[in-house]
Amino acid sequence: MLPPPDAPTRGTWRNGPRWNYEGVVALVGLAVAWQIASYFFPPFLFPPVPAIAAHVLDIFLSGKTLLDVMATALRILAGLAGAFVLGAAIAVLMGRAPRFSRYAYPLLNFNQGVPALSWVVISIIWFKGTEFRIFFIMLMTTLPAFTFQILDSYRAMSKDLLEMTLSFRPSRLDLLRTLVWPSVLPGILTAWKVNLGNASRVVVVAELVGATGGVGYQLLLQQQVFDMAGAIAWTIVLVIFVLLAQRIIDLLETWLLRYRPVAERTL
């Protein structure tokens, strides 16, 4: 049964997104279960939680390893920015030119089916520079999601609102500011949140081949010495970056979409 309108609701977003205690409990439960498993299995399979925590602390305290984290973060952001700009341009062209859309749609669908590992192999054959290889891989793997999300948001604009707005004879800039931008902005923010997770997985694969720094390179080093605690620690560091980036996007979403009514969530 739904609560009355004025009743406080668990998970309600009144002042922006918040961490819920259920997530903290779940993570603590996972850590406890891992620690218990470490008593029954050798350290190269289930290292103790304190050993993993010590590795994470060393990563943030050491200047050299912190540079690896920053290198991976910059690669993710650069690849996403490039895919967003190109995807937005393609989405606008597809929305304004149906004939172009009929040609671009199958190409984007084809691209969406190409595995990230295939783009890694292709980039190694095509390009020399490591950074450009990683940028190319990030661009190709995240481009379809940006394009389709922005295109769907553009096409989902209310026709009634469009006709009403056009009746006031606005300039193109006014039309973009008052109707198009508010309509596509939620889709853009959603695309960034979805692609952040995808990009973090892809960048590790890209760094495993040919990179001399970054989280993926460090994971390769941990694998070579069978250091499971180090591998888990570097994975946690990458997850922390993704969670922080998603948190920032959530805060931006709350501020940019503050004109929308507050939504009540019941789980």
36 domain residue, yes or no: no
Q: Is 19 left (phi over 0), alpha (psi -120 to 50) or beta?
A: beta
Alpha-carbon span 238 to 76, nearest angstrom = 11
Residue 110, amino acid: F
162 domain residue, yes or no: yes
Number of domain units in the chain = 1
pLDDT tens readout for residues 121-176: 898 889 888 888 889 999 999 999 899 888 888 777 766 666 676 666 766 676 66
Specify whether the CB–CB gap between 17 and 250 falls below 8 A.
Answer: yes
Structural domain boundaries, residue 162: 48-256
Helix (H, G, I), strand (E, B) or coil at 41: coil
Specify whether the CB–CB gap between 116 and 205 falls below 8 A.
Answer: yes
103 domain residue, yes or no: yes
Question: Which helix (DSSP H) or strand (DSSP E) does residue 87 occupy?
Answer: helix 63-96
Say which CATH number the domain at 216 has.
1.10.3720.10
**What does the pLDDT profile of the chain (267 residues) look like in tens digits?**
444 444 444 444 444 445 577 778 888 888 888 889 888 888 888 889 899 899 889 888 887 888 888 989 999 999 999 999 999 899 889 888 888 888 998 999 999 888 888 998 898 889 888 888 889 999 999 999 899 888 888 777 766 666 676 666 766 676 666 667 777 788 888 889 888 888 888 888 888 776 778 888 888 888 888 889 889 999 999 999 988 998 898 888 888 777 666 544 444
Question: What tokens were used for 250?
Answer: 């959530």
Full-model pTM: 0.78
